[in-house]
A = this chain, B = another copy of it.
């Protein structure tokens, strides 16, 4: 171990183990939020699920709040990386519809469900809101920028900026609707129509 440490001073096995443990804890937090909701998520459950001792978990994340704030950052990074990867495989034809599909998958994914639990809990929990609110605003701006790039629109145009924002709010609303019933066929028809409307209105690259 000492030899390995000297060979890779920036990534010691100890450092890697710590990173891996943190990732396991954050993944377990998201799983718990998705399956049990905010009120059913406890730090004990998360450490059990992650296979991490309570002591180690408390060392890295002393409170549930610390755990979920890092989980929000972790979720945001995951979403951004997934979007970037998906963007590399966009078709030249019907590009707008393909972008809406990728975004829609994000807004109906487990990661969205975990974020939804946090948003709703934060509404009636001031401490959580103070931590999650500013983070969500930053993430919202990032997602907006990424969407503008993916759609290939000029959002300095009057109205284009608002239609990109409306697209993300529409997807959020569709994501919320999808939590109560499987309405994927309805969602597909709505996105077909919206892609056409976007292309006709702000000349998103089709």
A residues apposed to B, CB below 8 Å: 35-40, 113, 116-117, 119-125, 129, 132-133, 136-137, 140, 159, 162-163, 165-166, 168-177, 179-181, 186, 189-190, 192-194, 196-197, 200-201
Contact = CB atoms under 8 A, between A and B. Distances in A.
A181 B196 CA distance: 31
A131 to B, nearest CB: 11
Contacts of A168: 173
B169 A173 contact: yes
B39 A162 contact: no
Given A129-B180, A166-B193, A176-B176, 15 more contacts: A37-B121, A38-B39, A39-B39, A122-B180, A123-B179, A159-B193, A162-B193, A163-B193, A163-B197, A166-B190, A169-B177, A170-B173, A172-B172, A172-B176, A173-B173
B137 A192 contact: no
A119 to B, nearest CB: 6
Q: Which of A37, A38, A170 counts the most chain B CB atoms within 10 A?
A: A170
